[in-house]
Structures are given as structure tokens and as C-alpha cells.
Amino acid sequence: MDLAYGSARPGGREGSAGHGRNDIMASASKPASAPDPYGAVTHEVLNQPVELADYNLYDSDAALKDAVRREGAQWATNALGAFGARMGSAEWLEQGAFANKNPPELDTHDRYGRRVDLVRFHPSYHSLMKTAIEEGLHASPWTEPREGAHVARAARYYMQTQVEAGHGCPITMTFASVPCLRTQPDLAQTWLPRITARVYDPRNVPADQKQGLTIGMAMTEKQGGSDVRANTTRAIAVGREGPGAAYELVGHKYFVSAPMCDAFLVLAQAPAGLTCFLVPRWRPDGTKNQLQIIRLKRKMGNVSNASSETELRGALGWMVGKEGRGVATIIEMVAMTRFDCMIGSSAGMRRAVAEAIDHCRQRKAFGVYLIDQPIMTAVLADLAIEAEAALALTMRIARALDHRDEAHEDALVRLGAAIGKYWICKRTPGHAYEALECIGGSGVMEDSPMPRLYREAPVNAVWEGSGNVQCLDIARAIAKTPQTLEAYFAEVDSVGRQSAALDAHVASLKADLRDLSGFEARARDVCDRLAVGLQAAALVRAGSPIADAYLRSRIESRGAHNYGALVGVDCRTIVDRAAPR
């Protein structure tokens, strides 16, 4: 593996010939002022930044440190600092790039024609998976519950996702499967100890030969993803019927991400309706389960992670939860994956704004550093505000997850996570684009991290509940469980009277939500306002130095639609707070 990260340095000399390692070594042996009789040196590289690497993703992130302290994970500070140093190292950042430059490949059969359904990954992908699991990103709040457990895990996930987002998919699904599997104690007893173990074992062998397992999720079919009730995959009882019993599943799944997982939570139609099943890759007798990968998806983003189309040809699965209650059973898994989408998209924004600020700090145009040019300072500040607001809301929900035994916090998880998933994921693509533009032409190039961030950005918004579906879920939560809306207003009212604009914002929301009739037609408008109201509350509650700027630009907004339209805001202070070094 070539770890010669960032070999081009500012002020270096470029010749018309290549400048590989040998050329560098050769020129290094010459005196700096050696004559250049052949005219090979055409220019000096001037005004080009040093790549952002070898920085501590925790220590350099004031918003993250504040959130960790505030939301109850102060105890994790030292470990998070050590983890941040590792994640921000040039070596780790390059692992993330490698995992995406070398996408996974599928072998349906071995060389002699035996069915294997094997997905091969680049070693960098495996390194990322191994670290994520060893650090407990897939399980720590379940295995070591304590004050701030979700907050500390979210902080780690946030840093690791800045390095690479794709491997987060199986990590999240494994993490999110735990509450779902707990509803079926007999299966939980067998599977959970190895699902939550800090052991990464990527071998394509039966689960009982492994100490560590990963879990995927297969709901979506060709005829419907949002509307899983349209699923046609059938489940037929092998012997006895009911929860924990064995069934055979026949049908297909149009999206199955991380198909090398050891088992999948799958929705299929049983006689009493849509039901959840745990489907292993291998049968307990050591033969391959009839869960066949047809092909891998060709994705615009999330490239390091494999996503597949599969067919179930009588695949063995055990019923999880009650027959006909499949959506209710799997919903807690879906809820946790939605929370991780909030972390993942917040992390994408953080990496983007860190790259943009760091570039503009070093790059001059018209003789002045970009960071000092007022329009650019405002754009960078606005990007930083968006990123910090996303993190503040995410960490507020992480805290609520740590306190679900309290009615207010539990209700806040239900509505706040739906709002946060909708809003943060939807804000990320525009944010990635604007950050890319700050870097100019080099931001468009594939050797920059920006194209990867840009292509990754829409993915979280689409899966686990696309935008409109999230709005419908918000409406459902409010209608079915009015306490969720009460918790929302209790949360924003608790920071009220700080700003007349926020008070007016909340009052108009209350008026609009008094009657939910015709909600669908106005759902985007209402959900957007719910989101900015909750982010504002999170920032004010946090005492964040950007709270006032958020209120001015997102609540008192003068109708600006692009980043950088800030009025009356101390942009430079905000940019300095967000600068990664």
C-alpha cells in the first residue's frame, strides 16, 4: 500500500518530467540551487495548500468537544481525543480514499462453479470495519449502558464517518438490529452475544464458526421501497408456526446493502401479513442458505459499501416478533438507522467545512487569502453554522437516547429523530456542493475528498425514509402520539424568550399544528419549520457561540436561498471556531 500521502508540497518544483519517488530522491541529493542545464524545471508550485491531514478530529473540533461535555459524555474525553488523532492521521484518511477507489466485487460462484455469493473488499475497507467494531461503534451503548453512552458512541461514529462513510452502513445496521432482536428472546440469546462482540470476522463461513457477527436489513422490493406493505416475498412455515419458528422464504429483495453480513432482518408475507424474519447467510447444518446475490448495485456514492439485489429461493428464516406485525417489529431498527443517518450527514458536513476552511486559509486570490475576503468569510461561516447546528441537534437526540426512561426524552427521540433525519440529510447535498466550490477547480478533481463527499451526500436522505416519507412519519408521530408534539414544544419553549423571532416562529408552528387536516399538502413547509425551530433550540440550550447567528440567518431569515447571505453576523469568529487547524 502506498502511503506516500501528500507528496506534493507547496513551493516544490515541478518539471515537465514525472516526479515519482526516484525523481524526488534524485533532486533531494542536489543542492537546492543546483543549475538546471536541461531546463526540466518549468515552474515552482506556489499558492497551493498543504493537504488537510495529520490533525486531531476531536481536539480540533470545538463544537464536538462542547457537545460531548454538555450531553453527558465528559468521561470519554481522553479516549475520544486519542481516537480523533488516529482518525485524522494521513494514513487513516488515505484508507478512506482507498476503500472508495477500489469498490467491492461479487463472485456468485467459485472457480469450479460452486455457489459462494462472495463479496470481495479492499483491505482498507476491512481495516475500517475492524476498527469500527473494536471501538464498539456497532454496540457500545447496548453492552456498556451508562450516562452519555450514546453520546460517546455518536462522537466516535461522527469522526470515523469523516474518514469514510460507506462502511458505516453495516456498522449501523448491526447496531440497530439489537433492539429489534431483543423482542425475540430465544434468537437474542443465541445471536446477540456475537453481534455485540468487539470482533470483526469477515469470513464467508457459518455463524457458529465466528466470534463476531454483522447484521443487514432487507425490506425493499422492486414494486415498493417506501411502501413495504407491497412486499410479495412469501414465508412458509417449515413445521410449527409463530415467533421463533423456522420458515422458508421465497421472493426477492431489490436493495440489500452489505450482503456479506452474517444474517439479515427481512420482511416477508406470512399468512397473517407482513412479518419480520432473521435470515442467516448459512444454515445451521453448514450448507449455504438459499439467499442468492444476483448482482451488486452500481451506485453514484457510498461506493466502498456493497449493495445488492438478492433472491430468496426457499431461504431459511426464523420469525422475529409477532406474525403480521413485521413493520412494528423492525421499526425500532429503522429508528436507530435514521439516527445514524443524522450522525453520518453531520459528519459529512464537518469534513466538508473543515476542508473548505483549511483550503481558504492557505489559498490567495488577487493577493489576499480567501478566508479574509468578506464574501468568502461569510460563505465559510454559513457552512460552519449549518454543520454545527446539525451536530448540536444530533447530540441532543443522542442525549435523549441515553435517557429514554424519562417521558420527555423518549417522546423527543420519536419526533426529534424523524425531524433530524429529514432535515440534516436533506441539507447535506447543498452544503457539500458549496464547500466544494470554495476550493475551486481542485475541489472537482477526484484526488480531492470533495467529489466523494458530494456523491455521498444524497444517499442518507434517500434510504431509511426518503424526504416525503419522513414528513409523513412526522405527521404520523404527532397524530398517533400527541405527547411527541408536546415534548417538541416543551423543548423549544424551554429556551424561549431569548429571541422575539424564535418566539414568533414557535407561535406560528403551534397555530399551524392545532389542526392536522390537509397536513400532507403543507408537510414540507411545516417540517422545515419544525426542524429549524428544534435546531435553534438545541443551539440556544447549548449556549453555542453560533446560536445568535443561527437565529438571525435561519429564523429571522430574509429569504436568502444560498450560503453566505449573512447579515449582522461576526463571520470571522465563527470560521475560526470551525477551523480544523
Residue ranges that bind ligand FAD, judged by CB under 6 A: 216-220, 224-226, 255-257, 299, 302, 307, 459, 462-463, 466-469, 472
Cross-strand pairs, 249: 235, 315
Work out how close the CB of 222 gets to ligand FAD at its nearest, in angstroms, rounded to a whole number. Answer: 8
d(CA 206, CA 287): 8
Dig out the grid coordinates for 214 from the structure.
Answer: 454483522
What is the phi/psi pair of residue 44, to 5°? -100, 145
DSSP string, 172-206: HHHHHHHHHHTTSHHHHHHHHHHHSSS-----SS-
Q: Residue 448's Cα: distance from chain center in Å?
A: 20
Residue whose CB is less far from ligand FAD, 276 or 385: 276
Dig out the grid coordinates for 276 from the structure.
Answer: 419480520
Nearest residue to ligand FAD on Cβ basis: 225
Residue whose CB is less far from ligand FAD, 140 or 470: 470
Contact 157, 248 (CB under 8 A): no
Give the single-character DSSP code of 52: S
Work out how close the CB of 221 gets to ligand FAD at its nearest, in angstroms, rounded to a whole number. Answer: 8
Nearest to 161 by CA among 107, 84, 228, 55: 84
d(CA 3, CA 51): 14
Residue whose CB is less far from ligand FAD, 131 or 257: 257
Q: Kindly give the pairing relationship between strand 115-120 and strand 246-257.
A: unpaired
Work out how close the CB of 254 gets to ligand FAD at its nearest, in angstroms, rounded to a whole number. Answer: 7
Work out how close the CB of 111 gets to ligand FAD at its nearest, in angstroms, rounded to a whole number. Answer: 29
Work out how close the CB of 170 gets to ligand FAD at its nearest, in angstroms, rounded to a whole number. Answer: 9
Nearest to 341 by CA among 402, 435, 418, 415: 418
Residue whose CB is less far from ligand FAD, 217 or 551: 217
Work out how close the CB of 526 gets to ligand FAD at its nearest, in angstroms, rounded to a whole number. Answer: 14
**DSSP strands (E only) in 11-112:** 13-15, 41-44, 105-109
d(CA 580, CA 157): 18
b/e map of 24-48 (b: 16 or more CB within 10 Å)? eeebeeeeeeeeeeeeeeeeeeeee
d(CA 72, CA 68): 6
Work out how close the CB of 299 gets to ligand FAD at its nearest, in angstroms, rounded to a whole number. Answer: 5
Work out how close the CB of 339 gets to ligand FAD at its nearest, in angstroms, rounded to a whole number. Answer: 16
Cα-based angle 259, 263, 265 (whole degrees, multiple of 5): 95
Work out how close the CB of 179 gets to ligand FAD at its nearest, in angstroms, rounded to a whole number. Answer: 17
Residue whose CB is less far from ligand FAD, 215 or 538: 215
Residue whose CB is less far from ligand FAD, 56 or 220: 220
Work out how close the CB of 252 gets to ligand FAD at its nearest, in angstroms, rounded to a whole number. Answer: 12
What distances in angstroms separate CA 262 from CA 110, 173, 217, 343, 446, one per listed residue?
19, 12, 11, 25, 33
Residue whose CB is less far from ligand FAD, 12 or 225: 225
Dig out the grid coordinates for 201 from the structure.
Answer: 470476522
Residue length of the chain: 581
Residue whose CB is less far from ligand FAD, 338 or 505: 338
Work out how close the CB of 430 gets to ligand FAD at its nearest, in angstroms, rounded to a whole number. Answer: 17
Residue whose CB is less far from ligand FAD, 174 or 499: 174
Residue whose CB is less far from ligand FAD, 277 or 463: 463
Residue whose CB is less far from ligand FAD, 89 or 161: 161
Residue whose CB is less far from ligand FAD, 89 or 174: 174
Contacts of 372 (CB under 8 A, 6+ apart): none
Rounded to the nearest 10 degrees, the angle between the axes of helix 519-542 and helix 62-70 is: 90
Work out how close the CB of 520 gets to ligand FAD at its nearest, in angstroms, rounded to a whole number. Answer: 7
d(CA 464, CA 420): 13
Q: Kindly give the pairing relationship between strand 263-270 and strand 215-218.
A: parallel
